[in-house]
Chain A
């Protein structure tokens, strides 16, 4: 594609510059030239190493100037002659071609397009047009994952993930900020949630065992087409945020699997405060100490089973019963009753949610 782009510019400049001008790439092939017959010609004297030279340089009566966006220049423009004017022409052409290539790359950069889609930086109407222009398959399923690096590391997690998912036509890895990386992955239709979690697990495990880098991964829902990718990305963000609030130690949090936490996350905080006041009107939850809250947590984990919980807590059954009575006295809720237990459980989650002050997406 670059070849056609360069040839278009060279063709227009041919009349303005009364000399032979053209572009050669790093494999020594002339890819654009004012003399059409020379396109495709190989010039062995120009190698990738020669292209690395800074400024203009003269080889066999032609003045060259390298350009290109990669760390090493990919192309060089050449102008016949070795005089200062040839050098000036070469420099001007290099600036012009470099800018046009950069503009073209940005315009037709699929990764950049996906980045704009997930970050809502593109008008919905343009998504369809641009997707067609970039030949995106709109029938396939894709999923968005958000990878958040939670500890400082001297390695580039981006490079690691790029190597885990090297298919650049199907998978897109986007740096969101210094800690967050988005992965937009094409997946087969009907993939199981556990397979997605396994995929996320491969990122977590590779980063932690190979590079001792901790990360958490939020998984959005599977979407078909391009425009819903923004939704999948937001869901991945919500999954991470909700996971942080309610389940701080899980490395992989799937939006599909947030349960009641997702409901609470959607509630306005005023409503939550009202609910807490209602539940704890007969006593404040603040009067329950850490040990009591821990007891309650274990009691819920053991399905309201007094014997099982007392065994797990290494306390006598009667001690646990006494604690539960004390809770009933303070809050008016008898945790051995299912109705009261569920109200208490939700209230604890709401309190956790309010005190964590989560980011809303």
Chain B
């Protein structure tokens, strides 16, 4: 295993498309780092740069403390699994694992040693004589991991490896992967579009958008203290509510107005300093659905965060329920008690937990208050 360090890495393709911009990121030895972001955010290019399939336009890539920019992919001792990876259908598991080594004309005894070693590590020895068609989906995924690791496994790069599996299987494979990581202590970099998967798997998450690393940190840190509006909206399901509000001030009493509704910050709020320069301007107010309440007791307590809203629809997901509301032309989602019964079109009062709101600059999208 080895650590990975990216320093100011950029990648611009021949057609001018900038896929990765000034990316600085560290993955410690034995860490499970998830790179998360939407389609086209640069995750795959970043992985290809680390694997050596692409060369960076600028910056340096270190693996185990050594600059690898000039090294061929096969010299980097990296295993990589891509989303559309498949097994050779007519070859046994053993032949699948050995195929790549044989193609590189490795001596037979050496091939056997590598195959047995990786099969042992991933505990797939009993499957060696089976063909892919006779394996379960889970076993196939394990064989794919083994096949990737057969030539080198200082670092494991997994670029959305389970994207074609259904949700349940993906969760199971995630669990297997976590166990494997715990057992082998291998450094894993995992790319995904799915925020829930990122939170479930990663020791740390690096959120990417448009080639930039927006923020990197522990999942709970990113959730609680997002660096910008994108990170705040990316993590959490249902996503954070964003309202374009106008900042008003009456002494130290700050008001956020949207449409005909307004909420106020509680007395003694310590973010007044940062908001001074925004008075009279628009900012984005972010509030997570779980921090929007319809419970009368809470509404009474949080009087400064109360607004009127109309229920559009109520949705129950397992033990949780969500209210989809409209409030002064804005859509708001509220996480409510599973027992709550609300009708479409019902006028209700909701309260934002003003202690937990976030504020973002409407131009730069950077966090003003978290």
Taking CB atoms and an 8 Å cut-off, the chain A residues in 203-236 that contact chain B are 204-206, 208-212, 214
Complex Cα spacing A311 to B103, Å: 49
| Residues of chain B contacted by A204 (CB below 8 angstroms) | 84
- CA distance in complex: A238, B42 (Å): 28
User: Closest CB-CB distance, B3 to chain A, in whole Å?
Assistant: 22
Q: Which residues on B are within 8 Å of A, measured CB to CB?
A: 13-17, 19, 48, 51-53, 72-74, 80-86, 88-91, 99-100, 103-104, 147-148, 164, 210, 363-365
With most chain A CB atoms within 10 A of its CB, the pick from B73, B82, B100 is B82
The verdict on A214 contacting B53 (CB below 8 Å), with A205-B84, A248-B13, A294-B16 known, is yes
Partner of B74, one of A160, A212, A294, A312: A212
Please name all residues of chain A whose beta carbon is closer than 8 Å to the beta carbon of B80 when the two chains form the complex.
Answer: 209
Q: Does A286 count as interface, using CB distance less than 8 angstroms?
A: no
A243 CA to B61 CA, complexed, in Å: 30
Q: In the complex the two chains form, what is the Cα distance from A189 to B90 in whole Å?
A: 24
Asked, given contacts A163-B99, A249-B17, A311-B363, whether A212 binds B52 with beta carbons under 8 Å apart, the answer is yes
Cα(A206)–Cα(B88), bound, Å: 10
Q: Is the beta-carbon distance between B86 and A160 smaller than 8 angstroms?
A: no
Interface residues of B, dominant DSSP: loop
Task: Report B-chain residues with C-beta under 8 Å of the C-beta of A112.
Answer: none
A-B contact pairs, 6 of them (CB 8 A): A154-B104, A209-B81, A210-B99, A210-B100, A212-B52, A248-B14
Which has the most chain B C-beta neighbours within 10 Å: A154, A160, A212, A312? A212
Minimum distance in angstroms from A285 CB to a CB of chain B: 15
Chain B residues in 8 Å Cβ range of A5 = none
Known: A163-B99, A166-B89. A205 touches B16 (CB 8 A): no
In the complex, are the beta carbons of B82 and A164 less than 8 A apart?
no
- Residues in A with CB closer than 8 Å to B48 are 208
Contact of A206 with B85 at beta-carbon distance under 8 Å, contacts A155-B104, A211-B100 already known: yes
Other A-B pairs beyond A201-B84, A249-B13, 17, CB < 8 Å: A154-B104, A160-B103, A163-B88, A164-B86, A198-B84, A202-B84, A202-B86, A204-B84, A205-B86, A206-B84, A208-B82, A209-B148, A212-B72, A212-B73, A212-B74, A249-B14, A312-B210
Chain B nearest CB: distance from A107 CB in Å?
27
Instruction: Using CB atoms, name the residue of chain A closest to B72.
Output: A212
Q: Which residue of B lies closest to A151 (CB)?
A: B53
- By beta carbon, the residue of chain A nearest B86 is A202
- Whole-angstrom distance between the alpha carbons of A212 and B103 in the complex? 12
CB of B72 within 8 A of CB of A209, answer: no
- Point out the residues of chain A lying under 8 angstroms from B73, CB to CB: 212
Chain B contacts for A249, CB-based, 8 A: 13-15, 17, 19
Name the residue on B nearest A247 (C-beta). B15
A205 with B103, Cβ < 8 A, contacts A166-B88, A214-B53, A312-B210 known: no
Question: Residue-by-residue, is A304-318 near B (CB-CB < 8 Å gives 1, otherwise 0)?
Answer: 000000011000000
Is there an interface contact between B53 and A208, defined as CB atoms closer than 8 Å? yes
**Is A44 part of the binding interface, using a Cβ–Cβ cutoff of 8 Å?**
no
Proximity bits, A164-203, B CB within 8 Å = 1, else 0: 1010000000000000000000000000000000100110
The distance in angstroms between the C-alpha atoms of A73 and B100, with both chains bound, is: 27
- Would you call A156 an interface residue if the criterion is a C-beta within 8 Å of the partner chain's C-beta atoms? yes
- What is the distance, in angstroms, from A219's C-beta to the closest C-beta of chain B? 14
Closest to B85 in A: A205
Q: Which residue of A lies closest to B84 (CB)?
A: A201
Q: Is A27 an interface residue (CB 8 A)?
A: no
Chain A hits for B16, CB < 8 A: 294, 297
Q: Is A159 an interface residue (CB 8 A)?
A: yes
* Complex Cα spacing A249 to B48, Å: 13
CB neighbours (8 Å) of A160 from chain B are 103
Question: Known interface pairs A247-B15, A294-B16. Does A211 touch B88 (Cβ–Cβ under 8 Å)?
Answer: no
Checking B14, B51, B83, B363 against A205 with a beta-carbon cut-off of 8 angstroms, the contacting residue is B83
- Least CB separation from A197: chain B residue: B84
| Residues of chain B with a CB closer than 8 A to A211's CB | 100, 103
Question: In the complex, A159→B100 CA distance in Å?
Answer: 11
Task: Pick the most buried of A163, A201, A211, A247: most chain B CB atoms within 10 A of its CB.
Answer: A163
**Bound Cα distance from A356 to B23, whole angstroms:** 32
Q: What are the residues of chain A within 8 A of B89 when measuring CB–CB?
A: 164, 166
Q: Which residue of A lies closest to B91 (CB)?
A: A163
Cα–Cα, bound, A130→B74 (Å)? 46
Bound Cα distance A197, B83 (Å)? 12
Asked if B53 and A163 make an inter-chain contact with CB atoms under 8 angstroms apart, the answer reads no
Query: In the complex, which residues of chain A have a beta carbon less than 8 angstroms from the beta carbon of B19?
Result: 249
Distance to closest chain A CB from B137 (angstroms): 16
Whole-angstrom CA separation of A159 from B89 in the bound complex: 14
Distance of B11 from chain A, by nearest CB (Å)? 10
Tell me whether A210 and B147 are in contact in the complex, defined as CB-CB below 8 angstroms, given that A163-B88, A198-B84, A201-B84 are known contacts.
yes
Shortest Cβ-Cβ A-B pairs, 7 listed:
A201-B84, A205-B82, A212-B73, A166-B90, A205-B84, A163-B88, A202-B86
In the bound complex, what is the Cα–Cα distance between A19 and B164 (angstroms)? 65
- Chain B residue nearest to A293 (CB atoms) is B16
| Complex CA distance for A163 and B102, rounded to whole angstroms | 13
Select one of A155, A164, A248, A312 contacting B103, CB under 8 A.
A155
* Closest A residue, CB atoms, query B147: A210
A210 to B365, CA, bound (A): 40
Report A-chain residues with C-beta under 8 Å of the C-beta of B81.
Answer: 209
Q: Which residues of A contact B88 (CB under 8 A)?
A: 163-164, 166
Residue of A201, A214, A294 ringed by the most chain B CB atoms within 10 A: A201
Chain B residues with CB under 8 A of A297:
16
Contact: B90 with A163, CB < 8 Å?
yes
B86 touches A206 (CB 8 A): yes
CA distance A294 to B16 in the complex (A): 8
- With a CB–CB cut-off of 8 A, which chain B residues contact A164? 86, 88-89
Least Cβ–Cβ distance between B115 and chain A, in angstroms: 14
Distance of A246 from chain B, by nearest CB (Å): 9
A120-164 toward B: CB 8 Å interface, digit per residue (1/0)? Answer: 000000000000000000000000000000000011100110011
Closest Cβ neighbor of A312 among chain B residues = B210
Q: Taking the nearest CB of chain B, how far is it from the CB of A241, in angstroms?
A: 15
Give, as a whole number of angstroms, the nearest-CB distance from A286 to chain B: 17
Contact partners of A154 in chain B: CB under 8 A: 104
Q: In the docked arrangement, what's the CA distance between A311 and B13, Å? A: 22
Q: Is there an interface contact between A201 and B147, defined as CB atoms closer than 8 Å?
A: no
Shortest distance from the beta carbon of A166 to any chain B beta carbon, whole Å: 4
A198 to B363, CA, bound (A): 39
B residues near A247, Cβ cutoff 8 Å: 15
A198 to B164, CA, bound (A): 10
Give the docked Cα–Cα distance between A312 and B365 (Å). Answer: 11
Tell me, in angstroms, the Cα distance from A247 to B17 when the chains sit together.
10
Chain B nearest CB from A214 CB (Å) reads 7
CB neighbours (8 Å) of B148 from chain A are 209-210
